């Protein structure tokens, strides 16, 4: 069978450059999309504005790539992840099918990535090699992002930390041609942290800012308008929970649902991922970097602060991460989400007022991103947090 091109929309900036290796097979050759101009306007030609902002951006990015003429649409597919929960994005593959048909691309295949049995006829088959590569990419992506974000405001030579991040991405990309072992994954984590610790830095005033919220908006520069670059340029040491926390939250939430066999399988994978995450956290902390506690500990510490029975969308993870970063000394927390994300507004944003009352020494500021929102509106809310002087406790 001839190899086909699998287009992967931007989603997790720090992980997809590595995760794409997990999606490679004899049938599919993955290509990570990078277009970023006019995507919302293009997406809104085919998707109503009441759909969430990430869906609009993803549709726009896919159409921009297909319109470019770079890809043979007759041997081309698009990878779409589906959580299988109450998020409207869980049915996005059907919406996107209509978008592609209306835009004149009925021959482009849609490939569903999920572990919930959705659209089985279009699903990307999972196998142990794919899962092993995805685990390595998640752990390495988390390690790289944590080290980079905490050193960027202190670098002596502007751009040196980002350059080191890119060097490691290139190196690890080659490592992922095959599936790394548990020992190899952790050995690379030690090498990564040591190399970042060797970067020349200077002492200058910084403020610690944590970012929590909806997964796309928190992790994709398209969805948050290059928020991390803005914060780093304004002297902020940035703290963001990684993909391993998100994946373990998802597994933890879904052990409460579905057939007994599925719940048991989730628990087995959850234990394996949780074990390597704990070792990753230990390596990062030994090198002097701050991280959230491992997910199991984070959940236990969030009891009474987060509604642990709320597993819709990002559910209790948002409040738990905010409380976790507060425990790490981050008193300024940006809570980001896309406008029109219904589960996010109800189950995410709905927690902020209660959480603020329970953490009076911390300041939480909510920021919504949308195609209809002006840059000035968003930046004014971010600056509200950065410019505030918090009282001592």
In whole angstroms, give the CA distance from residue 228 to residue 153: 11
Are 82 and 92 spatial neighbours (Cβ–Cβ below 8 Å)? Answer: yes
Given a cut of 70, is residue 89 above it in pLDDT?
A: no
CA distances from 70 to 184, 218, 289 (A): 37, 30, 42
Which DSSP letter does residue 305 get?
T
Are 247 and 113 spatial neighbours (Cβ–Cβ below 8 Å)? Answer: no
Are 258 and 228 spatial neighbours (Cβ–Cβ below 8 Å)? Answer: no
pLDDT digits (tens, 9 = 90+) for 26-83: 889 999 999 888 999 999 999 988 888 999 999 999 999 999 999 999 999 999 877 6
Helix (H, G, I), strand (E, B) or coil at 334: strand
Contacts of 16 (CB under 8 A, 6+ apart): 8, 10, 32
State mean pLDDT over 334-361. Answer: 87
Q: Where are the beta strands (DSSP E) in 197-279?
A: 207-213, 236-240
Lowest mean pLDDT among 133-137, 169-173, 321-325, 386-390: 386-390
Share of the chain above pLDDT 70, in %: 93
Kindly indicate the confidence band of residue 120, based on its pLDDT and cuts at 50, 70 and 90. Answer: low
pLDDT digits (tens, 9 = 90+) for 209-234: 999 999 999 999 999 999 999 999 99
Share of the chain above pLDDT 90, in %: 72
Residue 340 confidence (pLDDT): 76
- Kindly report the number of other CB atoms within 10 A of residue 361's CB atom: 10
In whole angstroms, give the CA distance from residue 155 to residue 181: 33
Residue 115 confidence (pLDDT): 59
Are 328 and 314 spatial neighbours (Cβ–Cβ below 8 Å)? Answer: no
What pTM does this model have?
0.94
pLDDT digits (tens, 9 = 90+) for 283-302: 999 999 999 999 999 999 99
User: Tokens 């751009």 appear where?
Assistant: 159
> CA torsion, points 98, 104, 106, 112, in degrees to nearest 10?
-50
Are 215 and 314 spatial neighbours (Cβ–Cβ below 8 Å)? Answer: yes
Are 161 and 244 spatial neighbours (Cβ–Cβ below 8 Å)? Answer: no
Contacts of 347 (CB under 8 A, 6+ apart): 310, 312, 313, 314, 315
pLDDT digits (tens, 9 = 90+) for 185-208: 999 999 999 999 999 999 999 999
State mean pLDDT over 318-344. Answer: 91
In whole angstroms, give the CA distance from residue 134 to residue 125: 14
State mean pLDDT over 85-101. Answer: 80
Kindly indicate the confidence band of residue 248, based on its pLDDT and cuts at 50, 70 and 90. Answer: very high
Contacts of 383 (CB under 8 A, 6+ apart): none
């Amino acid at each position: 069978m001839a190899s086909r091109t699998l287009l992967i929309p931007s989603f997790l900036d720090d992980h997809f450059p590595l995760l794409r290796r997990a999606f490679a097979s004899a049938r599919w050759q993955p290509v990570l999309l990078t277009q970023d101009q006019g995507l919302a306007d293009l997406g809104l030609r085919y998707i109503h504005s009441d759909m969430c902002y990430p869906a609009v951006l993803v549709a726009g990015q896919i159409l921009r790539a297909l319109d470019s003429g770079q890809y043979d649409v007759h041997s081309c597919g698009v990878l779409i992840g589906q959580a299988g929960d109450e998020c409207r994005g869980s049915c996005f593959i059907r919406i996107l099918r209509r978008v592609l048909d209306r835009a004149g691309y009925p021959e482009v295949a849609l490939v569903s990535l999920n572990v919930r049995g959705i659209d089985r006829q279009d699903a990307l088959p999972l196998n142990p090699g794919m899962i092993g590569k995805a685990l390595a990419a998640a752990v390495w992506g988390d390690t790289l992002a944590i080290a980079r974000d905490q050193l960027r405001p202190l670098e002596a030579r502007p751009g040196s930390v980002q350059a080191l991040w890119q060097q490691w991405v290139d190196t690890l990309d080659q490592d992922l041609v095959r599936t790394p072992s548990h020992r190899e994954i952790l050995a690379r984590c030690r090498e990564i942290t040591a190399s970042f610790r060797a970067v020349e830095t200077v002492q200058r005033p910084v403020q610690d800012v944590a970012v929590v919220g909806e997964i796309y908006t928190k992790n994709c520069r398209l969805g948050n308008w290059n928020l991390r670059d803005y914060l780093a340029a304004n002297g902020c040491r940035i703290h963001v929970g990684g993909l391993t926390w998100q994946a373990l939250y998802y597994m933890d939430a879904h052990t409460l649902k579905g057939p007994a066999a599925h719940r048991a399988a989730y628990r087995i994978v959850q234990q394996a991922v949780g074990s390597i995450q704990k070792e990753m956290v230990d390596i990062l902390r030994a090198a002097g970097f701050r991280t959230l506690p491992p997910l199991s500990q984070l959940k236990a510490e969030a009891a009474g602060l987060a509604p642990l029975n709320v597993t819709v969308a990002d559910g209790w993870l948002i409040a738990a991460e905010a409380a976790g970063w507060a425990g790490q000394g981050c008193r300024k927390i940006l809570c980001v989400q896309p406008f029109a994300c219904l589960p996010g507004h109800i189950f995410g944003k709905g927690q902020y007022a209660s959480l603020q009352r329970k953490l009076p020494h911390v300041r939480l500021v909510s920021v919504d991103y949308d195609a209809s929102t002006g840059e000035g509106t968003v930046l004014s809310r971010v600056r509200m947090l950065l410019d505030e002087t918090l009282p001592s406790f």
